[in-house]
Amino acid sequence: MLCCAWGVMALLAQAPAQHNIAQALALVWGFAWLLAWGAGLLQRRMLPVLMGGTVLMLAMLVWWSTILPRSDLDWAPDVEHLVVVETDAAQPAVVQLRNVRNFDWRSETDFTPRWETRSYDMNQLDSVDVALSYWMGPAIAHTLVSFGFKDGEHVVFSIEIRKESHESFDALAGFFKQYEMALVAADERDILGVRTNVRGEEIQMFRIHMPQAAMRELFMAYARQASLLEYAPRFYNTLTANCTTIVWQLARRIGQELPLDWRLLVSGYLPEYLRDVGALDSMQPLELQRKSGDITTRAQQWQPPADASDTQASIDFSRYIRQGM
């Protein structure tokens, strides 16, 4: 019956993309399983059920294998472009990111899009912060990782769904190849500000205890992941390939000893996990860190300095929201 339920949900998740044909197929699929079970019960034999179920499941898996991620769809404006990473052999410490998002958000539907090219010197990298954006109660948060540099600039990496222009996020559909994955690189004013000031989410930020060499390796792990997505799109998965588990996988790849834990799935409790593995930079009690790291009000109150350039405004925003941390 679990196979039957999985098949029904998989078909229904694909229904919007298949012009409702999948809805009819889901009914046929469920009815076929009922027939198999009914035949087995009437004959008091499980062999027909097993044989029929195997045939049905094989047919489902063949169909499932034909659903492949794509890179040529009509994407929503905020994930229209993927970050592109470039390096120069003459300057091996400098990483150039194309398509860094720096939108000016006035509302979810009213914004000025800006995609920029920025260069970052890995020798100047001096901080890593994890930001958790709470959007559905205390247990559910979106995980973002911000890299800070000695000149005050920051760039945030965020694993997100790559929505099509007509789509909105559905956590259940995220189990069933409904969304491609995007790795967004963005200015803090954009990606943090839209969550606090437009979507009404609460953001808590935590400084990560990490030597500079590990910071650099983690940044480059994100860069490699971005390069992979540029040429080989993949699906987002609510359970196995989401905004938190991908960060965990990247950290493991650079040699960080991080155990698998249920709090990686219920990411609102990620600070407790980070504390338990010794990843937090502060020795303060966690509740005090949560309070001092709550940047929501500061992000909402911030105003750009008069006559500041865009870069100066971004640096000032990053400085302002970290006051008291």
| pLDDT per residue as tens digits for the range 49-94 | 666 667 777 877 888 888 999 999 999 999 999 999 998 888 999 9
Residue among 285, 276, 281, 224 nearest 249 (CA): 224
Which pTM does this prediction carry?
Answer: 0.89
**Residue 14 vs residue 243, higher pLDDT:** 243
Q: What is the pLDDT at residue 322? A: 98
Domain limits, the chain: 1-66, 84-322
- Between strands 125-134 and 91-101, the pairing is unpaired
At 167-187, the pLDDT tens digits run 888 887 888 888 999 999 999
Q: Mean of the per-residue pLDDT values for the chain?
A: 87
Q: Name the DSSP class of 164.
A: B
**In this structure, what token pair is assigned to residue 104?**
């000016």
User: Which pLDDT score is estimated for 116?
Assistant: 98
Q: What is the DSSP code (8-state) at residue 173?
A: G
| pLDDT score of 166 | 87
Beta strands in 150-265 (DSSP E): 154-162, 180-186, 202-207
The CA distance from 167 to 282, in Å, is 40
- Within 8 A by CB and 6+ apart from 33, the residues are 1, 3, 4, 7, 52, 53, 56
In this model, does residue 18 exceed pLDDT 70?
no
Of 175, 185, 164, 17, residue with least CA distance to 99? 185
Q: Are 263 and 274 in contact (CB under 8 A)?
A: no
Question: Tokens 């973002």 identify what position?
Answer: 144
- Residue 161's beta-bridge partner residues? 181
The answer to whether the beta carbons of residues 33 and 53 sit under 8 Å apart is yes
Does residue 234 surpass a pLDDT of 60? Answer: yes
**Using CA atoms, how far apart are residues 51 and 305, in angstroms rounded to an integer?**
71
Distance CA 171, CA 161 (A): 10
